[in-house]
Amino acid sequence: MKRMQAAVLRAADQPYSLEEVVLENLRPGEVRVKIVAAGMCHTDLWPRDQTEEFLPIIVGHEGSGIVDAVGPGVHGLEVGTHVVLSFAACRVCSACLGGHPAYCSKFNEFNFAGSYEDGTTSAHSVDGEPIKNRWFGQSSYAEYAVVDADNVVPVERDLPLELLAPLGCSVQTGAGAVLNEMALAPGQSIAVFGAGAVGLAAVMAAKLAGAKHIFVVDLHEERLRMAVDLGATQTILAGADTDVVGEIRKTCDGVDFSFETTSVTKVISESIAVLGLFGSAVLVGGGTGKLSVEPYELAGRKVTFVLEGSAVPRLFVPQLIGFWRAGQFPFDRMIETYGFDAINSAEADSLSGKTIKPVLVMNPSTVGVVQ
Protein backbone atom coordinates (compact mmCIF):
# COMPACT_ATOMS: atom_id res chain seq x y z
CA MET A 1 0.00 0.00 0.00
CA LYS A 2 1.00 3.63 -0.54
CA ARG A 3 -0.01 6.72 1.40
CA MET A 4 -0.26 9.98 -0.52
CA GLN A 5 -1.85 13.41 -0.62
CA ALA A 6 -4.77 13.84 -2.99
CA ALA A 7 -7.33 16.50 -3.87
CA VAL A 8 -10.65 14.88 -2.98
CA LEU A 9 -14.00 16.24 -4.16
CA ARG A 10 -16.50 15.46 -1.41
CA ALA A 11 -19.36 17.83 -2.20
CA ALA A 12 -20.45 19.33 -5.51
CA ASP A 13 -20.54 22.87 -4.15
CA GLN A 14 -17.39 22.69 -2.02
CA PRO A 15 -13.67 23.22 -2.78
CA TYR A 16 -11.29 20.32 -3.23
CA SER A 17 -10.06 18.91 0.07
CA LEU A 18 -6.36 18.01 0.32
CA GLU A 19 -6.31 14.75 2.24
CA GLU A 20 -4.15 11.77 3.06
CA VAL A 21 -5.32 8.84 0.94
CA VAL A 22 -4.21 5.21 0.90
CA LEU A 23 -3.62 3.37 -2.39
CA GLU A 24 -3.97 -0.40 -2.45
CA ASN A 25 -1.48 -2.73 -4.12
CA LEU A 26 -1.42 -2.80 -7.90
CA ARG A 27 -3.65 -5.18 -9.82
CA PRO A 28 -2.46 -7.10 -12.90
CA GLY A 29 -1.75 -4.79 -15.84
CA GLU A 30 -1.44 -1.64 -13.73
CA VAL A 31 1.39 0.76 -13.01
CA ARG A 32 1.70 3.40 -10.31
CA VAL A 33 2.88 6.80 -11.49
CA LYS A 34 4.38 9.50 -9.29
CA ILE A 35 2.60 12.56 -10.65
CA VAL A 36 4.76 15.52 -11.60
CA ALA A 37 1.97 17.66 -13.07
CA ALA A 38 -1.70 17.50 -14.01
CA GLY A 39 -3.59 19.74 -16.40
CA MET A 40 -6.96 21.14 -15.39
CA CYS A 41 -9.71 20.48 -17.94
CA HIS A 42 -13.36 21.55 -17.91
CA THR A 43 -14.38 17.88 -18.08
CA ASP A 44 -13.09 17.60 -14.51
CA LEU A 45 -16.09 19.74 -13.48
CA TRP A 46 -18.54 17.02 -14.53
CA PRO A 47 -18.60 15.29 -11.10
CA ARG A 48 -19.86 18.55 -9.60
CA ASP A 49 -23.10 18.03 -11.57
CA GLN A 50 -23.67 14.53 -10.21
CA THR A 51 -25.57 13.35 -7.15
CA GLU A 52 -23.79 13.11 -3.82
CA GLU A 53 -23.75 9.31 -4.19
CA PHE A 54 -21.12 9.72 -6.92
CA LEU A 55 -18.69 11.26 -4.42
CA PRO A 56 -16.05 11.26 -2.97
CA ILE A 57 -13.78 11.16 -6.00
CA ILE A 58 -10.30 12.17 -7.13
CA VAL A 59 -10.47 13.66 -10.61
CA GLY A 60 -7.78 14.90 -13.00
CA HIS A 61 -7.15 13.32 -16.39
CA GLU A 62 -4.14 15.10 -17.86
CA GLY A 63 -1.36 13.63 -15.76
CA SER A 64 2.36 13.38 -16.40
CA GLY A 65 4.96 11.78 -14.20
CA ILE A 66 7.38 8.94 -13.54
CA VAL A 67 6.55 5.26 -13.19
CA ASP A 68 7.00 4.38 -9.51
CA ALA A 69 5.87 0.73 -9.47
CA VAL A 70 4.88 -1.93 -12.00
CA GLY A 71 2.14 -4.49 -11.41
CA PRO A 72 1.98 -8.14 -12.48
CA GLY A 73 1.90 -8.83 -16.20
CA VAL A 74 3.17 -5.42 -17.32
CA HIS A 75 5.77 -5.42 -20.08
CA GLY A 76 7.56 -2.54 -21.81
CA LEU A 77 7.40 -0.18 -18.83
CA GLU A 78 9.77 -0.02 -15.92
CA VAL A 79 10.31 2.03 -12.80
CA GLY A 80 11.78 5.42 -13.75
CA THR A 81 10.05 5.70 -17.15
CA HIS A 82 8.76 9.22 -17.83
CA VAL A 83 5.18 9.18 -19.04
CA VAL A 84 2.14 11.16 -20.15
CA LEU A 85 -1.23 9.71 -19.13
CA SER A 86 -4.24 9.64 -21.41
CA PHE A 87 -7.78 8.24 -21.54
CA ALA A 88 -8.76 4.66 -20.78
CA ALA A 89 -10.06 2.07 -23.25
CA CYS A 90 -10.82 -1.63 -23.14
CA ARG A 91 -8.38 -2.46 -25.99
CA VAL A 92 -10.45 -5.50 -27.07
CA CYS A 93 -13.66 -4.17 -28.66
CA SER A 94 -13.95 -3.72 -32.43
CA ALA A 95 -13.23 0.03 -32.24
CA CYS A 96 -10.11 -0.47 -30.14
CA LEU A 97 -8.83 -3.34 -32.29
CA GLY A 98 -9.51 -1.22 -35.36
CA GLY A 99 -7.20 1.53 -34.10
CA HIS A 100 -9.92 3.83 -32.71
CA PRO A 101 -9.64 3.62 -28.90
CA ALA A 102 -11.39 6.98 -28.43
CA TYR A 103 -14.57 5.25 -29.60
CA CYS A 104 -14.18 2.25 -27.31
CA SER A 105 -17.51 0.52 -26.67
CA LYS A 106 -16.89 1.02 -22.95
CA PHE A 107 -15.53 4.58 -23.13
CA ASN A 108 -18.09 5.96 -20.66
CA GLU A 109 -17.65 3.13 -18.16
CA PHE A 110 -13.86 3.29 -18.28
CA ASN A 111 -13.53 7.07 -18.12
CA PHE A 112 -16.52 8.54 -16.28
CA ALA A 113 -17.46 5.95 -13.66
CA GLY A 114 -14.50 6.69 -11.42
CA SER A 115 -14.30 3.04 -10.34
CA TYR A 116 -13.49 -0.40 -11.70
CA GLU A 117 -16.20 -2.23 -13.65
CA ASP A 118 -17.27 -4.06 -10.50
CA GLY A 119 -17.74 -0.75 -8.66
CA THR A 120 -14.67 -1.08 -6.43
CA THR A 121 -11.79 1.40 -6.11
CA SER A 122 -8.12 1.09 -5.23
CA ALA A 123 -8.08 4.14 -2.95
CA HIS A 124 -9.56 4.83 0.45
CA SER A 125 -9.29 7.34 3.26
CA VAL A 126 -7.18 6.60 6.32
CA ASP A 127 -10.46 5.54 7.97
CA GLY A 128 -11.19 3.01 5.22
CA GLU A 129 -13.80 4.99 3.27
CA PRO A 130 -13.65 4.10 -0.48
CA ILE A 131 -12.62 7.00 -2.74
CA LYS A 132 -13.11 6.80 -6.48
CA ASN A 133 -9.75 6.97 -8.26
CA ARG A 134 -10.41 5.72 -11.80
CA TRP A 135 -11.41 9.04 -13.39
CA PHE A 136 -10.33 8.61 -17.02
CA GLY A 137 -8.40 5.63 -15.71
CA GLN A 138 -5.97 7.84 -13.77
CA SER A 139 -7.36 10.38 -11.22
CA SER A 140 -4.21 12.47 -11.44
CA TYR A 141 -5.03 15.23 -8.93
CA ALA A 142 -2.86 13.36 -6.47
CA GLU A 143 0.75 12.57 -5.68
CA TYR A 144 0.34 9.13 -7.27
CA ALA A 145 -2.01 7.64 -9.85
CA VAL A 146 -2.84 3.99 -10.49
CA VAL A 147 -3.11 3.54 -14.25
CA ASP A 148 -3.60 0.71 -16.71
CA ALA A 149 -0.32 0.23 -18.53
CA ASP A 150 -2.10 0.74 -21.87
CA ASN A 151 -3.04 4.31 -20.83
CA VAL A 152 0.60 5.31 -20.50
CA VAL A 153 2.63 7.10 -23.17
CA PRO A 154 6.41 6.87 -22.54
CA VAL A 155 8.34 10.07 -23.33
CA GLU A 156 11.99 11.09 -23.41
CA ARG A 157 13.58 11.93 -20.06
CA ASP A 158 14.86 15.34 -21.19
CA LEU A 159 11.34 16.69 -21.75
CA PRO A 160 9.68 19.03 -19.18
CA LEU A 161 6.90 16.91 -17.70
CA GLU A 162 5.10 19.93 -16.26
CA LEU A 163 4.47 21.15 -19.81
CA LEU A 164 3.51 17.79 -21.31
CA ALA A 165 0.52 17.07 -19.03
CA PRO A 166 -2.18 18.74 -21.23
CA LEU A 167 -1.18 16.58 -24.20
CA GLY A 168 -3.16 13.71 -22.70
CA CYS A 169 -6.57 15.29 -23.37
CA SER A 170 -7.24 18.94 -24.26
CA VAL A 171 -4.31 19.53 -26.61
CA GLN A 172 -4.71 16.08 -28.12
CA THR A 173 -8.43 16.73 -28.65
CA GLY A 174 -7.99 20.04 -30.45
CA ALA A 175 -5.00 19.12 -32.57
CA GLY A 176 -6.33 15.63 -33.29
CA ALA A 177 -9.66 16.96 -34.50
CA VAL A 178 -7.81 18.95 -37.15
CA LEU A 179 -5.03 16.54 -38.10
CA ASN A 180 -6.79 13.19 -37.61
CA GLU A 181 -10.53 13.74 -38.03
CA MET A 182 -10.61 16.61 -40.54
CA ALA A 183 -7.28 15.82 -42.17
CA LEU A 184 -7.26 19.51 -43.08
CA ALA A 185 -5.20 20.12 -46.23
CA PRO A 186 -3.09 23.13 -47.30
CA GLY A 187 -5.23 25.98 -48.62
CA GLN A 188 -8.41 24.92 -46.82
CA SER A 189 -10.30 27.00 -44.26
CA ILE A 190 -11.52 26.50 -40.70
CA ALA A 191 -13.62 28.42 -38.18
CA VAL A 192 -12.83 27.68 -34.53
CA PHE A 193 -15.50 28.51 -31.95
CA GLY A 194 -13.97 28.96 -28.51
CA ALA A 195 -10.37 29.97 -27.84
CA GLY A 196 -9.72 27.81 -24.81
CA ALA A 197 -7.00 25.19 -24.72
CA VAL A 198 -8.87 22.84 -27.07
CA GLY A 199 -9.70 25.58 -29.58
CA LEU A 200 -6.20 27.06 -29.56
CA ALA A 201 -4.68 23.60 -30.05
CA ALA A 202 -6.86 23.37 -33.16
CA VAL A 203 -5.59 26.78 -34.31
CA MET A 204 -1.97 25.66 -34.00
CA ALA A 205 -2.73 22.42 -35.83
CA ALA A 206 -4.54 24.28 -38.62
CA LYS A 207 -1.56 26.57 -39.11
CA LEU A 208 0.73 23.55 -39.11
CA ALA A 209 -1.47 21.91 -41.75
CA GLY A 210 -1.28 24.97 -44.02
CA ALA A 211 -4.81 26.38 -43.70
CA LYS A 212 -5.43 29.53 -45.75
CA HIS A 213 -8.12 30.97 -43.48
CA ILE A 214 -8.26 30.35 -39.71
CA PHE A 215 -11.17 32.18 -38.11
CA VAL A 216 -11.45 32.20 -34.31
CA VAL A 217 -14.54 33.28 -32.36
CA ASP A 218 -14.49 33.97 -28.63
CA LEU A 219 -15.86 36.25 -25.91
CA HIS A 220 -12.45 37.31 -24.55
CA GLU A 221 -10.26 39.81 -26.40
CA GLU A 222 -7.12 38.56 -24.65
CA ARG A 223 -7.73 35.02 -25.90
CA LEU A 224 -8.32 36.30 -29.40
CA ARG A 225 -4.96 38.08 -29.27
CA MET A 226 -3.39 34.78 -28.25
CA ALA A 227 -5.17 33.10 -31.15
CA VAL A 228 -3.57 35.55 -33.59
CA ASP A 229 -0.15 34.88 -32.10
CA LEU A 230 -0.71 31.14 -32.57
CA GLY A 231 -1.89 31.35 -36.17
CA ALA A 232 -5.40 32.76 -36.51
CA THR A 233 -5.86 34.85 -39.66
CA GLN A 234 -9.03 36.58 -38.46
CA THR A 235 -10.74 36.86 -35.08
CA ILE A 236 -14.32 37.73 -34.15
CA LEU A 237 -15.30 39.04 -30.73
CA ALA A 238 -18.61 37.34 -30.02
CA GLY A 239 -21.49 39.22 -28.47
CA ALA A 240 -25.26 39.40 -28.46
CA ASP A 241 -25.29 41.58 -31.59
CA THR A 242 -22.38 39.98 -33.45
CA ASP A 243 -23.23 38.43 -36.83
CA VAL A 244 -20.56 35.74 -36.67
CA VAL A 245 -21.70 33.95 -39.81
CA GLY A 246 -21.86 37.19 -41.78
CA GLU A 247 -18.40 38.26 -40.64
CA ILE A 248 -16.87 34.99 -41.80
CA ARG A 249 -18.70 35.01 -45.11
CA LYS A 250 -17.28 38.46 -45.88
CA THR A 251 -13.94 36.71 -46.36
CA CYS A 252 -14.94 33.40 -47.93
CA ASP A 253 -18.06 31.66 -49.20
CA GLY A 254 -18.21 29.31 -46.25
CA VAL A 255 -15.44 27.31 -44.62
CA ASP A 256 -14.28 23.78 -45.26
CA PHE A 257 -14.39 22.93 -41.57
CA SER A 258 -15.76 24.34 -38.35
CA PHE A 259 -14.69 23.31 -34.88
CA GLU A 260 -17.11 23.89 -31.99
CA THR A 261 -15.80 23.65 -28.42
CA THR A 262 -18.40 25.50 -26.32
CA SER A 263 -21.53 23.31 -26.47
CA VAL A 264 -23.62 26.50 -26.46
CA THR A 265 -26.73 25.87 -28.58
CA LYS A 266 -26.49 29.14 -30.54
CA VAL A 267 -22.80 28.56 -31.25
CA ILE A 268 -23.40 24.99 -32.43
CA SER A 269 -25.92 26.36 -34.94
CA GLU A 270 -23.43 28.98 -36.11
CA SER A 271 -20.74 26.34 -36.58
CA ILE A 272 -23.01 24.64 -39.12
CA ALA A 273 -24.21 27.84 -40.79
CA VAL A 274 -20.65 28.93 -41.65
CA LEU A 275 -19.92 25.78 -43.66
CA GLY A 276 -19.40 25.96 -47.38
CA LEU A 277 -20.66 23.24 -49.71
CA PHE A 278 -19.18 19.84 -48.71
CA GLY A 279 -17.98 21.37 -45.44
CA SER A 280 -17.82 19.48 -42.15
CA ALA A 281 -18.65 20.65 -38.63
CA VAL A 282 -16.73 18.92 -35.84
CA LEU A 283 -18.20 19.23 -32.36
CA VAL A 284 -16.32 18.52 -29.13
CA GLY A 285 -18.03 20.69 -26.51
CA GLY A 286 -18.84 18.51 -23.52
CA GLY A 287 -21.79 20.48 -22.18
CA THR A 288 -25.57 20.24 -22.42
CA GLY A 289 -26.08 22.34 -25.56
CA LYS A 290 -28.55 20.96 -28.11
CA LEU A 291 -28.17 20.75 -31.87
CA SER A 292 -31.09 22.31 -33.72
CA VAL A 293 -30.86 22.40 -37.50
CA GLU A 294 -33.15 22.41 -40.51
CA PRO A 295 -32.43 19.28 -42.57
CA TYR A 296 -31.79 21.26 -45.76
CA GLU A 297 -28.90 23.05 -44.02
CA LEU A 298 -27.05 19.74 -44.10
CA ALA A 299 -27.32 19.31 -47.86
CA GLY A 300 -23.78 18.49 -48.99
CA ARG A 301 -22.49 19.04 -45.45
CA LYS A 302 -21.58 16.84 -42.48
CA VAL A 303 -21.73 17.13 -38.69
CA THR A 304 -19.91 14.84 -36.28
CA PHE A 305 -18.91 14.71 -32.61
CA VAL A 306 -15.29 13.76 -31.96
CA LEU A 307 -13.76 12.23 -28.84
CA GLU A 308 -10.11 12.76 -27.87
CA GLY A 309 -9.20 14.03 -31.33
CA SER A 310 -9.78 10.54 -32.79
CA ALA A 311 -6.25 9.88 -31.56
CA VAL A 312 -4.22 6.84 -30.62
CA PRO A 313 -2.27 8.47 -27.77
CA ARG A 314 0.87 6.35 -28.04
CA LEU A 315 1.20 7.45 -31.66
CA PHE A 316 -0.21 10.98 -31.55
CA VAL A 317 1.31 12.39 -28.35
CA PRO A 318 4.90 11.73 -29.56
CA GLN A 319 3.95 13.31 -32.88
CA LEU A 320 2.79 16.49 -31.11
CA ILE A 321 5.97 16.53 -29.04
CA GLY A 322 7.96 16.34 -32.26
CA PHE A 323 6.08 19.33 -33.68
CA TRP A 324 6.74 21.23 -30.42
CA ARG A 325 10.45 20.42 -30.49
CA ALA A 326 10.57 21.76 -34.05
CA GLY A 327 8.95 25.05 -32.98
CA GLN A 328 5.81 24.32 -34.99
CA PHE A 329 3.36 23.70 -32.16
CA PRO A 330 3.95 26.07 -29.21
CA PHE A 331 1.20 24.70 -26.95
CA ASP A 332 3.24 25.64 -23.88
CA ARG A 333 2.28 29.29 -24.43
CA MET A 334 -1.24 28.50 -23.15
CA ILE A 335 -0.03 27.07 -19.86
CA GLU A 336 0.14 28.70 -16.45
CA THR A 337 1.42 26.51 -13.62
CA TYR A 338 0.02 26.37 -10.09
CA GLY A 339 1.24 24.64 -6.97
CA PHE A 340 -0.86 21.59 -6.08
CA ASP A 341 -2.14 23.28 -2.92
CA ALA A 342 -3.47 26.12 -5.13
CA ILE A 343 -5.88 23.76 -6.91
CA ASN A 344 -8.97 25.74 -5.92
CA SER A 345 -7.45 28.98 -7.21
CA ALA A 346 -6.57 27.21 -10.45
CA GLU A 347 -10.15 26.02 -10.85
CA ALA A 348 -11.49 29.53 -10.20
CA ASP A 349 -9.10 31.06 -12.73
CA SER A 350 -10.09 28.46 -15.30
CA LEU A 351 -13.81 29.10 -14.81
CA SER A 352 -13.40 32.87 -15.00
CA GLY A 353 -11.35 32.65 -18.18
CA LYS A 354 -8.34 34.26 -16.53
CA THR A 355 -6.15 31.24 -17.30
CA ILE A 356 -6.41 29.26 -20.52
CA LYS A 357 -4.74 26.08 -19.32
CA PRO A 358 -3.92 25.73 -15.61
CA VAL A 359 -1.42 22.98 -14.81
CA LEU A 360 -0.95 21.78 -11.24
CA VAL A 361 2.67 21.06 -10.33
CA MET A 362 3.42 18.73 -7.43
CA ASN A 363 6.87 20.18 -6.69
CA PRO A 364 6.58 23.96 -7.10
CA SER A 365 10.30 24.45 -6.39
CA THR A 366 11.16 23.02 -9.80
CA VAL A 367 9.34 25.63 -11.89
CA GLY A 368 7.81 29.08 -11.51
CA VAL A 369 4.27 28.54 -10.27
CA VAL A 370 1.37 30.40 -8.74
CA GLN A 371 1.25 29.62 -5.01
pLDDT tens-digit map of 136-164 = 999 999 999 999 999 999 999 999 999 99
- Average pLDDT, integer, range 99-119: 96
- Average pLDDT, integer, range 330-347: 97
Given a cut of 80, is residue 367 above it in pLDDT?
no
What is the rounded distance in angstroms from the CA atom of residue 371 to the CA atom of residue 369?
Answer: 6
- The pLDDT of residue 371: 47
Q: Does the model's pTM come out above 0.85?
A: yes
- The pLDDT of residue 288: 84
- Confidence bin at 365 (pLDDT 50/70/90): low
Given a cut of 90, is residue 5 above it in pLDDT?
yes
- The pLDDT of residue 310: 98
Given a cut of 60, is residue 369 above it in pLDDT?
no
pLDDT digits (tens, 9 = 90+) for 47-74: 998 888 899 999 999 999 999 999 999 9
Q: Are 133 and 122 in contact (CB under 8 A)?
A: yes
- Confidence bin at 18 (pLDDT 50/70/90): very high
- Average pLDDT, integer, range 287-295: 87
- Average pLDDT, integer, range 259-269: 95
Across the chain, what does the average pLDDT equal? 95
What is the rounded distance in angstroms from the CA atom of residue 197 to the CA atom of residue 176?
Answer: 13
Write the secondary structure of the chain as one string of H (helix), E (strand) and C (coil).
CEEEEEEEECCCCCCCEEEEEEECCCCCCEEEEEEEEEECCHHHHHHHHCCHHHCCECCCCCEEEEEEEECCCCCCCCCCCEEEECCCCCCCCHHHHCCCHHHCCCHHHHHHCECCCCCCCCEEECCCCECECEHHHCCCCECEEEEEHHHEEECCCCCCHHHHHHHHCHHHHHHHHHHHHHCCCCCCEEEEECCCHHHHHHHHHHHHHCCCEEEEEECCHHHHHHHHHHCCCEEEECCCCCCHHHHHHCCCCCEEEEEECCCCHHHHHHHHHCEEEEEEEEECCCCCCCCCCCHHHHCCCEEEECCHHHCCHHHHHHHHHHHHHCCCCCHHHHEEEEEHHHHHHHHHHHHHCCCCEEEEECCHHHCCCEC
- Average pLDDT, integer, range 110-131: 96
Given a cut of 90, is residue 276 above it in pLDDT?
yes
Given a cut of 80, is residue 43 above it in pLDDT?
yes
- Confidence bin at 366 (pLDDT 50/70/90): low
- Average pLDDT, integer, range 204-232: 97
